[in-house]
Every structure is written in C-alpha cells, then in structure tokens.
Amino acid sequence: MSIAPARMRGLMPEATRPLVGRRILLVEDEYLIVVELERWLSGAGAEVLGPVSSVEQALELIENEASGLDGAVLDINLGGGDTVYPVADRLNELDVPYLFATGDLRICGHPAHREHPLLAKPISRAELVTAVEKLLES
C-alpha cells in the first residue's frame, strides 16, 4: 500500500505549515470553493472556524470564539443579496484582521473595508496561504 506524498494530499510538510496554531474564520457560500479554501487553510496548519455561509452564522461564531480568533477570510457576496460587511464591521470592532476572497472586486461597504486585502477569485492555494500569513503578521 503506497501513501501519497503530503503535497499530493494538499498538506504541507510540518516545517512549512505557516499557519499552525492559528484560528481562521472562513465565510463563503459556494460549496466547491469552501471545500478547497478549508482544505488549503487546514493543510497550512490553521484551525478553520466554520466554514459558515451566512452573516448570522458568522456573527454567532464570532461571539462564541472571538477571544481565540486570529483572522478571517471573507467572501463579499453571500447569496440572496446578503453581503459580508456586517461581519467585517464586527471584526473591525474586535481588531481581528481579515481579508476578502471574492469574485466581486468592488468593496462597497464602509471605507475601512477598502483598507483590507482583496484576493480576486479564482485564487490558488499559494495565494491564499501567503495572503493569510501576511495578514497575521501585520
């Protein structure tokens, strides 16, 4: 029985897992995208909170986990006309860093939202992990 190398399973070798011990909230409503983003973040060592697909779920999770939340990856449009901006506002209040990973390149919310990193979909594993790593360093 052969075991595929870690890179083939979507995992990084322990020495190169830059997000070990970090707790990252993931808010995304597209199933296929969320599966990949969660796999990539977990493979880099992060503990993924969620993923959740609605503002209400995200706000509830933040209130339950805020003291141990290191950062967040947010999709802007969550379906049904909802946007993630109320979640971003709450994260701003708590000084939790976040970035947008979205196909909607317009940041329409509060001007403070425009100061946060934006990853344009489609994104790669390397782009996501590097962006989250930089987000947590700042």
pTM of the full structure: 0.86
Superfamily of domain 19-137: Response regulator (3.40.50.2300)
Of all helices (H) and strands (E), which one includes residue 27?
strand 23-27
Digit-coded pLDDT (tens) for 26-56: 999 999 999 999 999 999 999 999 999 999 9
> What residue ranges do the domains of the chain occupy?
19-137
Of all helices (H) and strands (E), which one includes residue 52?
strand 47-52
Strand, helix or coil for residue 126: helix
User: Who wins on pLDDT, 30 or 103?
Assistant: 30
Q: Kindly write down the DSSP assignment for every residue of 53-71, as one continuous string.
A: -SHHHHHHHHHHHGGG--E
